[in-house]
Amino acid sequence: MPHRRGLGEHAVDPAAESELGRMRIRGEVSEPEETAGYVYGRMWRGYVATLDSPRDAGLGHGQSSACVGCPSPGDRKWCLCDLRRRIYLEATSVLVSTGRGIAPLVRAVVIYDQQCRFMDLPTLKLGLSALAQLYGLLTNQRKSRQKTLSTQTSVTP
């Protein structure tokens, strides 16, 4: 397995299967950044699955088996396909608003499993950190959220 070369004893780690996992093993990205990348990849796969899913011969007229459509705009908020699209596009808009060139780099490493050049590492980390913040994976954000929840639920005599 040439992609695991240089990982030493960590070469058998299941995380070494992806470029993002190998980067965490090497200490190039943090665990929240790695998790944010995996979540983004999962959101992308969910969205893509709704675009052109395998056709069900029983449905006919080009309808896909993943989504048969929403009868009215009011029903759209409950449509799984639309929800997947909105979640993925929200994450993509966060990447685009974070800075120029961040979204394509995150997509290349996370989705297409391409190796990140050393000079692009700070840009990738910036994008993954933005996603980690969006998904609530940063420890400071978790602590402040827990503190806010504890103050909201506390009862004063």
Confidence of residue 24 (pLDDT cuts 50, 70, 90): confident
- Condensed to tens digits (0 to 9), the pLDDT of residues 87-99 reads 999 999 999 999 9
Alpha helices in the chain (DSSP H): 19-25, 31-51, 80-98, 102-106, 121-134, 139-153
Tokens describing residue 155: 């009862």
- Taking Cα atoms as reference points, which of 31, 50, 33 lies closest to residue 109? 33
pLDDT digits 0-9 by tens, 41-71:
999 998 888 776 555 444 445 444 455 566 6
19 vs 70: which has the higher pLDDT: 19
DSSP-derived secondary structure letter, 99? -
Asked if 20 and 110 count as a contact pair (C-beta separation under 8 A), the reply is yes
Residue 150: which pLDDT band, with cuts at 50, 70 and 90? low
134 against 80, higher pLDDT: 134
What is the mean predicted confidence (pLDDT) over 97-123? 94
**Encoded tokens for 125:** 């980390």
Residue 1 has pLDDT above 90, yes or no: no
Query: Poorest-confidence range of 77-86, 110-119, 129-138?
Result: 77-86
